[in-house]
Amino acid sequence: MKFGKRLLCWTPGAVSWLSLLIMGAVVAAVGLMGTRLVIEYLQQRMAQHDLGHNREIAQRIEPLIRSQLAGDTAREFDKAAPSVDFYGSFGYRIFLVSGQGDLLLDSGADGALPRSLGEGWLDDLEWSRREVPAGGGEASATNEAGYPQVIWLERLQGPDSDGNVYLGVASDQHQLNDFLGDLHLQLDAILLTTYAMIGLIGVFAMRGIGRAYERRLEYLLQRRSGELEEAHREVLAKTRLATIGQTASVLAHEMRNPLASIKLALSGMGSRESLAKREQRRVDLVIGEVDRLDTLLSQTLDYARPIQLSNRPVSLDKLLTSVIAQQQPLLDRRSLKIRREECGECLVARMDEGKMHQALLNVLKNALEASPDGGRILVSLKARGDELELLVANGGEPPSRETLDHAFDLFYSTKPKGSGLGLGLVKRIIEEHGGRVSLTWDRALGTCVTIQLPRSSE
């Protein structure tokens, strides 16, 4: 339990390295065991191969020795010695053993022969004359240097007391064992190096893949977070809209009639000349505030009122002409000039003409109020692919970054007595029509309001 708790506190990198070490140890152990089994298999196969060579040599020597032993007594084997020495010079050790267990001839022995097997290198010879078949058999022993020997015994008919003489051909396994031992070490080294390289490459590859996956997850998480934030803002906007709608209904019912009564009473107070200038200013101030409250109520109701889209394409250019004509008195009073770029064929499908007129009017009024006297305003309408782009640009001081980011937010306003509903209503109307609206600053054009609306397919 303690180890499990500690493991939970480890970093993902530490857990990865620990997993790699455990996996590497298991793979290395399995690989080393497999290498050992392969070397043992090769050793057995090579021994069988040498044994086959020994058998072939024994079968070649057998006729010579058999002819030389014919008619001799058990102690007269000197005639076979030249043949034994000749074949022994090729790296094979050839010897003759009697059925009594005496060494009669030996191509590599020193000292007088015959002698007992227990007095020389064949003292550990694993054989039994009863187990050696007529066709010969295999045996093993260790030479004077302690190296293992692979031996083939061939049974010969001779003048021995039991009637048999055994021809043996031994080959030294020393060089083979040394070679296989070196091969084992080299294979183990290559195997471990290969596993280490594979492990390192795997770690870096997995880390790269992991980082790419993490970046992908971060991107998806950021995108999902952005979508959630956008959905949250939409929910807030809809909640605000619902609240505004309820509030507007209550205000319209509870305040409009009293405001109308107040305005009517103040307007009918008699001749203004009968009032002192001070009281007259006060009455005008109250009437102006009543008008402002009535306008605020109207804007709030307009914002909350649902938009009705028609199926008839509407000329946006004609709407602009109507809006500009409506503001012509203000243009003349402040000596403002409008440079118009028309697009007579620009139609917008599914439009609430009244709402769009109101949105364009709010945009133009903001441009007029932000322009200096005698300034110029650009109103440009162009068709760009499947969209219509309306640009309204005016001079004046550049807006702040906060204004550029929040100009279309509900209740945001830079005017001392502004309600913050005008541009918010513009944004809602444009988005309900499937369009987009943005506020930017251009050094050549000034403050720019850009409206993009889907173009009619007709």
Of 172, 197, 224, which residue is a domain's last?
172
Q: Confirm whether 298 is domain-assigned.
A: no
Q: Is residue 54 part of a domain?
A: yes
In a domain, 286, yes or no: no
In a domain, 121, yes or no: yes
Report yes or no: 150 and 47 within 8 Å, Cβ to Cβ. yes
pLDDT digit string, tens, across residues 163-196: 577 888 888 777 777 777 777 788 778 877 887 7
Is 50 exceeded by the pLDDT of residue 159?
A: no
Indicate whether 390 pLDDT > 80. Answer: yes
Q: Residue 348: which CATH number? A: 3.30.565.10
Query: Of the residues 127, 152, 172, which one is the last residue of a structural domain?
Result: 172
Asked if residue 75 has pLDDT above 50, the reply is no
Q: Is residue 442 part of a domain?
A: yes
Backbone angles phi, psi at 438, to 5 degrees: -145, 155
- % the chain with pLDDT above 70: 72
Sign of torsion over alpha carbons 105, 108, 113, 119: negative
Of the pLDDT bands very low, low, confident and very high (cuts 50, 70, 90), residue 391 is: very high
Q: Is the pTM of this model over 0.85?
A: no
Per the CB < 8 A criterion, the answer to whether 168 and 95 are in contact is yes
On the question of pLDDT at 134 being above 70, the answer is: no
**pLDDT (0 to 100) of residue 133:** 63
Question: Which residues, 6+ apart, have CB-to-CB distance to 252 below 8 Å?
Answer: 297, 301
User: DSSP secondary-structure letter at 70?
Assistant: T
Query: Does residue 348 form part of some domain?
Result: yes
| Number of compact structural domains in the chain | 2
Closest CA to 399 of 435, 360, 369: 369
Residues in contact with 299: Cβ distance below 8 Å, sequence separation at least 6, in sequence order: 419, 421, 422, 425
Query: pLDDT of 103-127, one tens digit each?
Result: 777 777 776 777 777 777 777 676 6
Per-residue confidence (pLDDT) for residue 350, from 0 to 100 = 78
What CATH number does residue 70 fall under? Answer: 3.30.450.20
Structural domain contains residue 283: no
Phi-psi region of 111 (alpha: psi -120 to 50; beta: other; left: phi over 0): left
If you average pLDDT over residues 236-244, what whole number do you get?
A: 71
- Looking at 112, 142, 172, the residue that finishes a domain is 172
The model's pLDDT over 398-420, given as tens digits with 9 standing for 90+, comes to: 888 888 887 777 666 776 666 66
Asked if the structure places residue 274 within a domain, the reply is no
Domain assignment of residue 358, given as a range: 312-454
